[in-house]
Amino acid sequence: MSSHRVRPLAPADPSRRTFVKGLAAGGAVAGLGLWRQPSLWAQAQGLKPTIELSGTDFDLTIGETPVNFTGRPRIAYTINGSIPAPILRWREGDTVTLRVRNTLRREDASIHWHGILLPANMDGVPGLSFHGIHPGESYTYQFTVKQNGTYWYHSHSGFDEQKGLYGALVIDAAEPSPVQYDREHVVLLSDWTDEDPRRIFAKLKKQSDYYNFNKRTVGDFFRDVRQHGLSATLADRRMWGQMRMNPTDLSDVTGYTYTYLMNGATPHGNWTGLFTPGERVRLRFINGSAQSYFDVRIPGLKLTVIAADGQYVKPVEVDEFRIATAETYDVIVEPSGAEAFTIFAQSIDRTGYAAGTLAVRHGLRAPVPEPDPPQLLTMADMGHDMAGHDHGAMTAGAAAAADPHAGHHMPAAKPADPHAGHAMPAQPPKPPDPHAGHDMPKQPPAAQDPHAGHDMAAMTAGVQTHPASEQGNPLVDMQAMNPMPRLDDPGVGLRGNGRRVLTYADLRSVFDDSDGREPGRTIELHLTGHMEKFAWSFDGIKFSDAPPIRLQYGERLRVVLVNDTMMSHPIHLHGMWSDLENEQGAFMVRKHTIDMPPGTKRSFRVRADALGRWAFHCHLLYHMESGMFREVRVEE
């Protein structure tokens, strides 16, 4: 029995039935206490339990393994026969050697070490780092580990990651850990499908809403008429119909095909991590899914977030956090007062969840919550967050909770000169607005003064400008008119839920900006897409049509991202950190993957200290493969 699927229905409908599909645990029932306790079920399926490997020398074998997560036998791709792949435990400062053998019969393979600083030829991206690993051949990765924390590794070849090629990386600090804890567990979340991922991709190309069974119906229309009146409902439908967008479009691939896994176990398989009451338990959450966002909470426990993407942050106590695809969060919990607690990770679209248990012994289970009702995207989510918008109230009202930004909109910003702010003498030119006036996406290095007098007014009062390549481009189906950083927005589905939800505004690295220079230039990139075509790109240009983004070795630059789509995109730069900035352009938190919800404009700093050719892409597998990808080339 696997993911619990919620019958798709209108957000406000209180009655919900849960359908359950599949079998118990298709994979290993695994936890640190259990890694070496192979489950009979797993053996019967041919899948080995996920074990932890540590040291400096590792032998990893990519191959095919029969699995059964849903009642239907399938062939997965595995590393050393398990899903997830073995936990690799490294030590900061060590030189690690990883011999990776590809035993697949016909396909090239690869492994990428996500978020790890290393030479480009060790990064594992076929065609950029190396030639890939041909069938029957091996590749030896060797590099010195320069960091510590929680990371992960996965295939970077085609759709192989979706078939099971992913695992956790835990790097112990060279110094004793700055955070004390008594016990730790990796909690790796992922999405399994019985379908061939190439079929999923093809289906999305043919019918992009194939997996969305939560679209608004005639019944929803009449319910909205009752709740909001006919004219508001008509106006709302007219607006979405005008855009040809769907406010229920939260995930491209849903629980319709996905079985969500926690450390390779289905919810019924109930991965269990042990604790002794009174212990401080460090949970290393990793979103190793191909295409899923999860909202994670442990009812009954406070979560103290201590690290994001492997890097320590100032501790912040929350009830719940959203983990974008490829992000990691380290959390301290102190379970007591009960014998079992459910770790509940519902997918952003609420079509299913991964769940497991923290317990004092195996075999226990705490109540598993129902998924929350899905919320609708708002006009703010679409980057159309303009005051006096006729339809915002309706859209927010139709969702279960109000938009926290309601009433914070800009006062009727006229479609004015984006540089209007320059004329305001009262505004000091510093701090410079990182988001202002970047209507020149391809500025040459050092040709531009970043302090050219832009201030916040330019960003907030002006209408967002867009690259010329987006204009009249059939691959671009919308543009954000007034995107905002919205770092303090919990995001659709988490607003006003009565729980304290982590936002990016809560995240502060425990260290200062280690480079310290002001960015010498800005590169603005727009995340673009066409929902109906299922085509994804940057600036309306797909990877195959785009030249590399060239960086000068040693330069400090700012990357501004504008989301011109209605979906969230976790944007990952290989080889270098993405140092997320706050609204004023100051360093806030070091990350390797920046979540870009719809309607946002966010910036991060990059120190180009890694020579070579690097991948830069949306970490949603099917977006990446349809073109939301760039090569970043750091040259001398």
Partner 1 sequence: MKAVPVTCVLLTAALLAPPSLSAQHPHQQPPPKPPAQKPAEDHSHHMHHEQPKDQPKEPIPPLTDADRAAAFPQALEGHTVHDKKLMYYVLFDQLEWQGTSTGGVNLETTTWIGGDIDRLWLRVEGETHDGDVEGVSADALWGRSFSRWWDVVAGLRQDIRPGDPQTWAAVGIQGLAPQWFEVQATGYVGAGGRTRARLEVEYDLLITNRLILQPLVELEIYGKRDPARGIAAGLSSLESGLRLRYEIRRELAPYLGITWDRKLFGTADLARASGEEAGRARVAFGLRTWF
Residue 259 binds partner 1, judged by CB under 8 A: no
Residue 430 binds partner 1, judged by CB under 8 A: no
Q: Figure out which of the listed residues 82, 129, 190, 565 binds partner 1, where binding follows CB under 8 A.
A: 129
Window 448-467: contact mask with partner 1 (x via CB under 8 A) = -------xxx--xx------
Task: From residue 559, give the alpha-carbon distance in Å to each of 136, 311, 440, 601.
Answer: 40, 20, 13, 10
Residue 569 binds partner 1, judged by CB under 8 A: no
- In the complex with partner 1, the residue whose CB is nearer, 46 or 450, is 450
| Window 179-218: residues binding partner 1 (CB under 8 A) | 179-181, 201-203, 205-207, 210, 212-218
- In the complex with partner 1, the residue whose CB is nearer, 278 or 363, is 278
Residue 316 binds partner 1, judged by CB under 8 A: yes
Q: Figure out which of the listed residues 501, 551, 560, 562 binds partner 1, where binding follows CB under 8 A.
A: 501
Residue 561 binds partner 1, judged by CB under 8 A: no
Dist CA 555 CA 479 (whole Å): 30
Dist CA 529 CA 143 (whole Å): 37
- Per-residue tokens: 501: 């939800």
In single-letter form, the type of residue at position 93 comes to G
Cβ 506 to partner 1 shortest distance, Å: 4
What are the backbone angles phi and psi of residue 622, rounded to the nearest 5°?
Answer: -75, -25
| Window 333-362: residues binding partner 1 (CB under 8 A) | none
Cβ 256 to partner 1 shortest distance, Å: 9
N- to C-terminal Cα distance for the chain?
54
In single-letter form, the type of residue at position 79 comes to I
Per-residue three-class SS string for 174-190: CCCCCCCCCEEEEEEEE
Angle at alpha carbon of residue 333, lines to 332 and 339, rounded to 5°: 155
For 281-295, letters b (16+ CB in 10 Å) and e give bbbbbbbbbbbbbbb
- Per-residue tokens: 87: 């936990």
- In the complex with partner 1, the residue whose CB is nearer, 43 or 488, is 488
Q: Figure out which of the listed residues 61, 97, 304, 443 binds partner 1, where binding follows CB under 8 A.
A: 304
Q: What is the largest CA-CA distance in the chain?
A: 74
Cβ 582 to partner 1 shortest distance, Å: 6
Cβ 218 to partner 1 shortest distance, Å: 5
Window 64-83: contact mask with partner 1 (x via CB under 8 A) = --------------------
- In the complex with partner 1, the residue whose CB is nearer, 362 or 500, is 500
Task: From residue 596, give the alpha-carbon distance in Å to each of 22, 560, 619.
Answer: 33, 11, 11
Angle at alpha carbon of residue 79, lines to 133 and 298, rounded to 5°: 135
Dist CA 334 CA 306 (whole Å): 14
- In the complex with partner 1, the residue whose CB is nearer, 73 or 411, is 411
Cβ 269 to partner 1 shortest distance, Å: 27
Residue 388 binds partner 1, judged by CB under 8 A: no
Q: Figure out which of the listed residues 615, 619, 620, 632 binds partner 1, where binding follows CB under 8 A.
A: 615
- Per-residue tokens: 300: 């009954």
Q: Figure out which of the listed residues 167, 168, 629, 632 binds partner 1, where binding follows CB under 8 A.
A: 629
Cβ 71 to partner 1 shortest distance, Å: 17
Cβ 391 to partner 1 shortest distance, Å: 15
| Window 38-67: residues binding partner 1 (CB under 8 A) | none
Residue 145 binds partner 1, judged by CB under 8 A: no
Residue 607 binds partner 1, judged by CB under 8 A: yes
Cβ 348 to partner 1 shortest distance, Å: 18
Angle at alpha carbon of residue 458, lines to 453 and 463, rounded to 5°: 150
Window contacting partner 1 (CB under 8 A); options: 54-62, 291-299, 321-329, 403-411: 403-411
Dist CA 318 CA 490 (whole Å): 12
Residue 442: other Cβ atoms inside 10 A: 12
Contacts of 197 (CB under 8 A, 6+ apart): 159, 162, 163, 290, 621
- In the complex with partner 1, the residue whose CB is nearer, 576 or 594, is 576
Dist CA 197 CA 106 (whole Å): 17
Residue 396 binds partner 1, judged by CB under 8 A: no
Cβ 322 to partner 1 shortest distance, Å: 14
- In the complex with partner 1, the residue whose CB is nearer, 191 or 403, is 403
- In the complex with partner 1, the residue whose CB is nearer, 191 or 477, is 477
Cβ 227 to partner 1 shortest distance, Å: 19
Residue 280 binds partner 1, judged by CB under 8 A: yes
Task: From residue 546, give the alpha-carbon distance in Å to each of 121, 288, 628.
Answer: 22, 28, 10
Considering CB under 8 A, how many residues would be counted as binding partner 1?
A: 114
Q: Figure out which of the listed residues 396, 401, 484, 527 binds partner 1, where binding follows CB under 8 A.
A: 484
Residue 18 binds partner 1, judged by CB under 8 A: no
Residue 320 binds partner 1, judged by CB under 8 A: no
- Per-residue tokens: 569: 């995109």
Dist CA 167 CA 51 (whole Å): 10
Residue 317 binds partner 1, judged by CB under 8 A: yes
Cβ 560 to partner 1 shortest distance, Å: 16
| Window 521-560: residues binding partner 1 (CB under 8 A) | 530, 532-533, 535, 537, 542-544, 553-554, 556
For 537-568, letters b (16+ CB in 10 Å) and e give bbbbbbbeebeebebeeebbbbbbbbbbbbbb
- In the complex with partner 1, the residue whose CB is nearer, 267 or 493, is 493
- In the complex with partner 1, the residue whose CB is nearer, 82 or 503, is 503
Within the chain, how many helices (H) and strands (E) appear? 7, 33
Contact between 322 and 350 (Cβ < 8 Å): no
Cβ 473 to partner 1 shortest distance, Å: 8
Contact between 484 and 433 (Cβ < 8 Å): no
Instruction: State the DSSP string of 584-636.
Output: TS-EEEEESEEEE-TTBEEEEEEE--S-EEEEEEESSHHHHHTT-EEEEEEE-
- In the complex with partner 1, the residue whose CB is nearer, 44 or 586, is 586
